[in-house]
């Protein structure tokens, strides 16, 4: 493959910035986003002082008694809904922002009973007849940073978990507790590279999470850690806390807490 010239890369960057600006202006003015903007205004600090759990999708979820979360506020990510039949309940919220996940699973995600947060930029890829419990968010923030108001553009930080942390802050949660954020992957390769799964998925809680034939992007753990540090700073600056209750997780950014100690 012939390397792109500096001019070509510059033009591509300019076109991308122009696209992001156009989408941002559309989101802030389009009648199609009005209900989402109202949702976010209503949710702002609506649960101030409460706690929530953010469920990653790592293999450690298989070692975690998730039924303890039945009466808690919970954020589920991407294909967490594969757990719902065994749990007997759905997470309060469901967040998905990755293009490949939505291209392949949009119909399943939209059909879930959770309140869904999906990116405005993917609206044309979603099935018709969208439910009332779907809120569009902007996740095309160009500069790294933690967004304290989800009505603005959010940086994805190379992980949907970071988007969930920004939403948790927006809603007002005093304490956000990570579960199943293993922060380690068996599959290795260049960050953000798109690969096709060749068999059972060893990186998530279910073998069919990204099963054979599923297209997905390899993780960028350094960028995720940068994002997590921004989240910790933002929460602690406001007297709030992010805790990590993942069993055996490799993430070291947040204070650790034993999962079952949270349910005295």
pLDDT at 15: 64
pTM score? 0.91
**Six-digit token string for 162:** 């970071």
Structure tokens belonging to residue 161: 């978990």
Q: How far apart are CA 149 and CA 147, in angstroms?
A: 6
Q: What is the mean pLDDT of each run of 10 residues along the chain (264 residues)?
A: 62 63 75 91 98 97 97 98 96 97 96 97 86 92 89 95 98 98 94 95 96 96 97 98 97 98 94
Question: What pLDDT does 125 receive?
Answer: 84
The predicted structure's pLDDT at residue 253:
98
Q: How far apart are CA 23 and CA 19, in angstroms?
A: 6
Q: Are strands 241-244 and 134-137 parallel, antiparallel or unpaired?
A: unpaired
Q: What residue ranges do the domains of the chain occupy?
A: 6-262
| pLDDT tens-digit readout, 113-167 | 999 999 998 898 888 888 999 999 999 766 899 999 999 999 999 999 999 999 9
């Amino acid at each position: 493959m012939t390397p792109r010239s500096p001019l070509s890369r510059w033009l591509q960057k300019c076109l991308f910035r122009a696209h992001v600006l156009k989408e941002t202006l559309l989101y802030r003015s389009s009648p199609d986003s009005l209900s989402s903007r109202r949702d976010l205004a209503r949710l702002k600090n609506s649960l101030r002082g409460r706690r929530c759990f953010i469920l990653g999708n790592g293999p450690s979820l298989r070692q975690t008694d998730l039924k303890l979360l039945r009466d808690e506020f919970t954020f589920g990510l991407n294909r967490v809904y594969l757990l719902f039949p065994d749990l007997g309940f759905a997470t309060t919220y469901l967040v998905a922002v990755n293009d490949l996940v939505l291209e392949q699973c949009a119909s399943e995600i939209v059909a879930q009973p959770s309140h869904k947060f999906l990116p405005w930029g993917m609206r044309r890829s979603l099935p018709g007849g969208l439910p009332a419990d779907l809120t569009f968010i902007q996740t095309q923030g160009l500069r790294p940073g933690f967004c304290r108001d989800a009505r603005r553009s959010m940086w994805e930080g190379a992980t949907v978990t970071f988007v969930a942390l920004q939403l948790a802050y927006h809603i007002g949660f005093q304490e956000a507790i990570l579960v199943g954020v293993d922060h380690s992957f068996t599959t290795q390769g260049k960050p953000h590279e798109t690969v096709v799964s060749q068999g059972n998925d060893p990186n998530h809680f279910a073998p069919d999470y990204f099963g054979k034939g599923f297209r997905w992007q390899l993780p960028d753990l350094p960028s995720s850690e940068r994002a997590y540090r921004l989240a910790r700073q933002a929460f602690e600056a406001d007297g709030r806390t992010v805790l990590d209750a993942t069993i055996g997780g490799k993430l070291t950014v947040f204070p650790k807490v034993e999962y079952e100690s949270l349910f005295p």
